């Protein structure tokens, strides 16, 4: 696993959007507030395939989702466009919070699964691997598809010719990635 993505400090030396993401995380004290829940950043901004409406995707591990929900309510419920949703994905309960900051929409997702084992973080690592493997032309095609409204995982699946559920299909690259 690329350790680069475990500590958000790399953002402070990244491209302008990554630097703004780092500033936003710091300004809103996201990592301080979410520290008990092992936050990690996933999504498109860390791997530089973001588009104009990309959000900051924060993953958390919460053994007690009610406690997590209470902290989220207390910390962010006054933010613009605040929403809180609870549900189940693949038989695993989750809490999802969204709100708007001055610069980015924020999405905070929690399950009782270690943050780095959640699908979104695994996808981040696989997508990073595939971008490095296939080069800048591939990356440009991914961004172009995203600008047309195609979600990230379906864009990768389309360019790679993967069938079925793109979120599951991408996971086939984990073994190949780990051999590198």
Question: What pLDDT, in 10s, does the model give residues 43-74?
Answer: 999 999 999 989 999 999 999 999 999 999 99
The CATH class for the domain spanning 3-115 reads alpha beta
The answer to whether residue 3 scores a pLDDT higher than 80 is no
Across 138-155, average pLDDT: 96
Listed range (3-12, 65-74, 80-89) with the worst mean pLDDT? 3-12
| pLDDT for 178 | 79
pTM of the model: 0.94
Question: Binning pLDDT at 50, 70 and 90, where does residue 143 land?
Answer: very high
Q: Beta strands 105-111 and 56-61: pairing type?
A: parallel
pLDDT at 2: 59
Q: Return the minimum-mean-pLDDT range out of 78-87, 104-113, 165-174.
A: 165-174
Could you give the percent of the chain with pLDDT greater than 70?
Answer: 98
* Mean pLDDT to the nearest integer, 127-149: 96
Domain extent listing, the chain: 3-115, 122-179
pLDDT tens-place string over residues 91-132: 999 999 999 999 999 999 999 999 999 999 999 999 999 999
What integer best gives the mean pLDDT of the chain?
94
Share above pLDDT 90 across residues of the chain, in percent, rounded to a whole number: 92
């Amino acid at each position: 696993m690329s350790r680069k993505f475990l500590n958000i400090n790399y953002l402070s030396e990244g491209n302008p959007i990554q630097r703004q993401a780092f500033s936003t995380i710091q300004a809103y004290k996201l990592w301080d507030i979410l520290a008990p829940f092992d936050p990690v950043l996933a999504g498109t901004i860390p791997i530089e395939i973001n588009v104009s409406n990309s959000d900051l995707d924060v993953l958390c591990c919460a053994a007690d989702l009610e406690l997590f929900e209470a902290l989220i309510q207390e910390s962010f419920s006054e933010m613009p466009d605040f929403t809180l949703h609870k549900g189940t994905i693949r038989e695993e309960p989750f809490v999802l919070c969204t709100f708007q900051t001055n610069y980015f929409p924020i999405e905070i997702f929690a399950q009782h699964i270690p943050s780095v084992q959640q699908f979104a973080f695994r996808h981040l690592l696989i997508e990073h691997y595939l971008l490095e493997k296939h080069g800048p032309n591939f990356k440009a095609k991914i961004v172009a598809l995203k600008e047309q409204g195609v979600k990230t995982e379906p864009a990768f699946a389309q360019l790679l010719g993967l069938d079925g559920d793109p979120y599951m299909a991408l996971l086939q690259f984990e073994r190949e990635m780990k051999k590198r």
